[in-house]
Amino acid sequence: MSTRISLDRKEFEAFLTENQALVERSQKLIEKIDILQKANEDLEKELQAVKEKVESMETTVNTEVRQADETLRRARGTIARLMRESEKHISQ
């Protein structure tokens, strides 16, 4: 039992042309996806590098803040001691 199908040549050629255009468009989209994936990977690497740099900077800033706090604490202690000694001298 064979079935025969007949097609209009112009319709078939139009179908082939349209199909070829879709294939070409699909290939361009696949190329674009590849480019975007590469760009995404590059951006992820750059983001990771920036995060690491920020973490390093935060550590440095925290250390410097602690050192500054310690310096201020000592300076306040020195000022308080000098004020007490000055008051002693003034009251004598």
Q: Which 3-state string (H, E, C) describes the chain? A: CCCCCCCCHHHHHHHHHHHHHHHHHHHHHHHHHHHHHHHHHHHHHHHHHHHHHHHHHHHHHHHHHHHHHHHHHHHHHHHHHHHHHHHHHHHC
Q: How far is it between the farthest Cα atoms of the chain?
A: 129
For 49-63, how does the pLDDT look when each residue is reduced to its tens digit (9 = 90+)? 999 999 999 999 999
pLDDT above 70 covers what percent of the chain?
Answer: 99
Per-residue pLDDT band for 1 (boundaries 50, 70, 90) equals low
pLDDT over threshold 80, residue 2: no
pLDDT digits (tens, 9 = 90+) for 30-45: 999 999 999 999 999 9
pTM: 0.59
Q: Report the pLDDT averaged over residues 20-26.
A: 98
